[in-house]
Chain A
Amino acid sequence: MSASSLLSVFLDNPAVILTVGALMCVATPRHLAGVIMLVVTAISAAKLYSLGLGNYGVFELFGEEITTIRIDPLSRVFAVVFHIAIALNVIYAWGQKDRAQNFATLAYPAAALGGVLAGDFITLFIWWEMAAITSVFLVWAPGTRATYVSGMRYLAIQVLSGVLLLAGVVLFYRETGSFAFDAIGLRDGDGAIKLAALVIFLAFGIKSAFPLLHNWVQDAYPKSTISGTIILSVFTTKLAVYALARGFAGTPELIYIGAVMTIFPIFFALIENDLRKVLTYSINNQVGFMIVGIGIGTAASLNGAVGYAFSNIIFESLLFMAVGAAMFRTGTSKATELGGLYRTMPLTLTFCIIGALSISAFPGFAGFVTKGLIVDGAAGFNIWIWLTLLFASAGVLEHAGIKIPYFTFFAHDSGKRPKEAPVPMLIAMGVAAILSIGIGVHPEPLYALLPDQEQIAGYHPYSAYHIIEQLQLLLWAILAFAVLILIKWYPAEVPSTNLDTDWFYRVPGRAFVTWAVGAARVIWVALWGIFSGRLHALMTRIYTMHGPEGQLARNWPIGFMALWTAVLLGFVLVLSFLA
């Protein structure tokens, strides 16, 4: 292949366009960064639109076909919403001067986009690792010792995911002789688990934060800057959701994994004081819904999972943005230090409530029109899964739908009277809020993007059954919240996660949850220790062997050289005689 055609393969790729834009941000004056980022995002979106459905950037590598861009209905949904999220983030962080963050603001979503568009495992792997490397700049952005260490842990686990993916791909190639990234399935025809698929599954699982593999989310995300956390919250997990939808749709294991994911973060979110951390738990919970939908794997539930990912990116960002705006004005995101901000930040409050209504899936908002697809699918699969999802939906309302706006803007009066959020932040939140309502009221444009058009054509979100089911759930949950607050049983906002409210101990399962989180933390710390310790030991070993005084680099006496020659001659002689 000639150099020029290679170049065109690259420049056709929206992800490459964004990456080039990210590099431009580093090289140009800082005050132009916002404009450049918006323009580049627009160019990339236009490129995506002009390409239309199909495979592009296909070339031969070592006799294997590499498809750098695959736009089909499944990848298109994610590509579209990624562009929306980038634009919102750029507007929200308008005027950001930090070059490293500006770079990551484009380069990291670019990598996630590249992964979504990848038609083969080689391309996927490259973008997968790029996403890991570019996103760590956001974790590091505050520049403190804590964020540095946390960033290194984050990078280690992300790279581990990439290495697993690579290993899985190699095994997969050996089994199938192909790099094509299509449905893999965890089990073969006899129901036995395929090794290659399992390794790839684990790689995806780390990035989508499966239970017990999830700690990196809460560890790294809340430590980033205000805008950094929002960007981080969108892309990594959603790239993994896409990868699971592509490779493992209809894998029953995912249903149980997803169900656990929807439940367990709720408890942590309820007792967590840092509202940004509450929202990171909410990411796990929301991704859990999508994974259940993928696991069920019917046309309806896949549509639901993908559509839910689309709307979730918008309203989850909106919530992060609202809490971020409060933090921007007051310098804190702790529930204990916030409260009573409704007096001076009414617009932010409004947007926050719209986000809360959306994530709680109130009829008329973005969450509602897609979540029903997943819940219906679960009802068809297993009553317990269905009940779990209903319970989790109620939990979403408690921790994300009510807790976030309540403790930020109402609750006890913190006495803080900050100004309303800056205009760029208001614009970004406003657009996200309009989108949340717009999708809720007119879901047709979103439905038109979903993978299975035949199924979605016959789906009506605003049927009496759906509305009644959802409203019953929500109203009872609100009642529960009100009662708990009234009788002061709701976990009060306290400055540490170590609550001494005795009621919680009585709740069954608390011990198990404590154990699980403790175990996960211990494993995490141990793995980190082993990893860093091994690395150090390995380097020492390499140095003693290969260093200037090592055996392999020393000046050997001449007799020794001759001896080696004789040894090799003997070996070759024996070999030739035997062959």
Chain B
Amino acid sequence: MIIASQLAVLPVITPLVLAPITLLLPKGRASWAWATLVSWLTFAACIFVLKTVAETGLISYYLGDWAPPLGIEYRIDLANALVLFLVSGIAAVVFPFAYRSVELEVDERQTPYFYGALLICLTGLLGVTITGDAFNVFVFLEISSLSTYALIAMGARRDRRALTAAFNYLVMGTIGATFYVIGIGLLYQATGTLNMADLHDRLVGQDNRMVQAGFAFILVGVGLKLAMFPLHLWLPNAYAYAPSAVTAFLAATATKVAVYVLIRFFYSIFGFDFAFMGAAFTYVLLPLGLAGMFVASLVAVFQEDVKRMLAYSSVAQIGYMLLGLSFASAAGLTATLIHIFNHALMKGALFMAVACVVFRCGSHSIHAFAGLSKRMPYTTWAFILSGLSLIGVPLTVGFISKWYLLEAAFGAGHWYAGFLIVASSLIALVYIGRIAEVMLLREPASDGKYVIAAKDAPLSMLIPMWALVAANIYFGVRTELTAGLAERAAAALMTFAGGGS
């Protein structure tokens, strides 16, 4: 069948082609419904891709039938099929959720642009993930970034600080992208190719200054995109002042895709033959990952703004992913892939809960959460359950992540890292516990600007949010999909990169 043979391109082409139509539709409900439909179609395409890859293995698709290395190749193995599934899945949940939230937070006249931009952002993220061409990564990275800047700036209707946050992110994101493209340029100079598989072949034995500098630029450029500590400074404000739905979407997808790009470069392009890989693991990823885990977590403890708190928590969680990578083992890579997936589930649900509070109370300050269990019980419990997942309580996905991470830490002989992982989870317990205490034990505000009517968020928000909470539990008990696929993906990447198992 013709569609089936073109399967690999569908996840990108669907939102890319259908997004502009949003702009032609009437504002409000129609453009939202269209965008939601597109996100679901995309999700369906990604499910098929994941299913196909899991059953038959690697898909290689030549765009316009131009053979690589000249043409662009889409190359899907288990690792990126999993990330595609994740990103489109989050989108399929966030789009229906967004309607009421956007209605409140974004100017109605802008809604077609908003949904269009969100679809374009989704396209960019999926494109970055799916492509097998290093320069194509840059193009899609810019597509997603540009739309993200616009989306963050749309938060200015509620809080003007969104404009500075968006501007800062624009500058930093551009620096990151520039570094990345400089790195690609250097690699192109050294090899004369941009196709990833081809790059890998031609880089063999080329341990020269050009390649080393290219590696450094790519690591720092992507590091900026994924908010590696201390390059995370753009992230807290961007997440805090963006419209709530955008935050939920970005927190669950954007940094994860950047981590994926890092993995792809480390394992599918450079490989373990380069001496600087080991140095980067030991002297960059390991210390910065650990520092992020602790510094960002401690900052989160003292935040008065729950959205900012969760944003700092994200920086800390990225620390876990980098830590897993830094072990340079299949177990560590598995842990990172699992945490990419699981962290998206928990942070998505947490930011959605905050969006629900913003919807009813108009604020994401901690004061708005006082006595929330008496006013919005469903939202409260969604927050608490996903918070427990963030801490790593058994029967949630957080536990699975921590478990694999600990296993990797001990397996790699970094026993101290194992204890630090537990210690930083305890800090997560503090900042989540602080909010839980406020929600469960404080009395709701009786006057002032934090008064909330005893009415939970609308169903259109509760259902998607609880779907993610349910996913937190489901994938915490049934780990075949996440852990099983991640293990296979990690083993394949590891073998390709020439590392031990």
Point out residues on A near B: beta carbons under 8 Å.
3, 62-64, 170, 173-174, 542-543, 545-548, 550, 552-553, 555-556, 558, 560-562, 564-565, 568-569, 571-573, 575-579
- Determine the main DSSP class of B at the interface with A: helix
Minimal beta-carbon separation of A207 from chain B (angstroms): 22
A555: nearest chain-B partner, CB-CB: B237
B residues in contact with A550, CB < 8 Å: 299, 302
Is there contact, CB below 8 Å, between B220 and A62?
no
The reply to whether A62 and B418 form a contact with Cβ atoms under 8 Å apart is yes
Add 8 more A-B contacts to A575-B279, A576-B279 (CB < 8 A).
A63-B407, A546-B295, A562-B175, A565-B175, A565-B179, A568-B223, A569-B217, A575-B216
- Chain B, residues 223-239, CB within 8 Å of chain A (1/0): the string is 11000001101101100
A569–B172 CB distance below 8 A: no
Q: Does B411 contact A (CB under 8 A)?
A: yes
Q: Which 3 A-B pairs have the closest CB atoms?
A: A579-B279, A576-B276, A62-B410
Complex Cα distance, B10 from A450, in Å, reads 73
Contact assessment for B220 and A575 in the assembled complex, using a CB-CB cutoff below 8 Å? no
The interface on chain B, measured as residues whose beta carbon lies within 8 A of the other chain's beta carbons, has a size of: 49
User: Interface segment, B41-49, B207-215, B442-450, B485-493?
Assistant: B207-215
Say which residue of A174, A562, A575 sits within 8 Å of B276 (CB atoms).
Answer: A575
Contacts A174-B415, A546-B295, A562-B172 known; A572 to B302 CB distance under 8 Å?
Answer: no
Kindly identify, within residues 163 to 194 of chain B, every residue whose CB is under 8 Å from any CB belonging to chain A.
Answer: 167-168, 171-172, 175-176, 179
A46 vs B206: C-alpha distance in the bound complex, in angstroms?
70
Dominant secondary structure at the A interface:
helix
**Smallest beta-carbon distance B50→chain A, Å:** 24
**Complex contacts, A565 vs chain B, CB 8 Å:** 172, 175-176, 179, 220, 224, 231
CA distance A249 to B418 in the complex (A): 31
B54 at the interface (CB under 8 A from A): no
CB-based contact B419/A170 at 8 Å: yes
- Complex: A3 Cα to B284 Cα, angstroms: 36
B443 to chain A, nearest CB (A): 24
Closest CB of chain B to A26's CB: distance in Å?
Answer: 17
| Bound: A170/B422 CA distance, A | 14
How many angstroms between the C-alpha atoms of A374 and B209 in the bound complex? 75
Option from B212, B298, B312, B410 in Cβ contact (under 8 Å) with A64: B410
Q: Which residues of B contact A (CB under 8 A)?
A: 167-168, 171-172, 175-176, 179, 209, 212-213, 215-217, 219-220, 223-224, 230-231, 233-234, 236-237, 275-276, 278-280, 283-284, 295, 298-299, 301-304, 312, 395, 406-407, 409-411, 415-416, 418-419, 477
Do A561 and B216 have beta carbons less than 8 Å apart? no
Residue among A545, A561, A573, A576 with the most chain B CB within 10 A? A576
In the complex, which residues of chain B have a beta carbon less than 8 angstroms from the beta carbon of A170? 415-416, 419
Partner of B477, one of A3, A556, A573, A579: A3
Which residues of the other chain, A, contact B179 by a CB distance below 8 angstroms?
565, 569
Neighbouring B residues of A556 by C-beta, 8 Å: 233
Contacts A3-B395, A562-B175 given; indicate if A576 touches B213 (C-beta within 8 A).
yes
Asked whether B302 lies within 8 Å of A543 as measured between CB atoms, the reply is yes
Does A173 contact B216, Cβ atoms closer than 8 Å? no
Partner of A546 from B234, B275, B301, B415 at Cβ < 8 Å: B301
- Enumerate chain B residues within 8 angstroms of A571, measured Cβ to Cβ: 284
* Contacts known (A62-B410, A542-B298); A579 close to B415, Cβ less than 8 A: no
In the assembled complex, the CB of B239 is this many whole angstroms from the nearest CB of chain A, namely 13
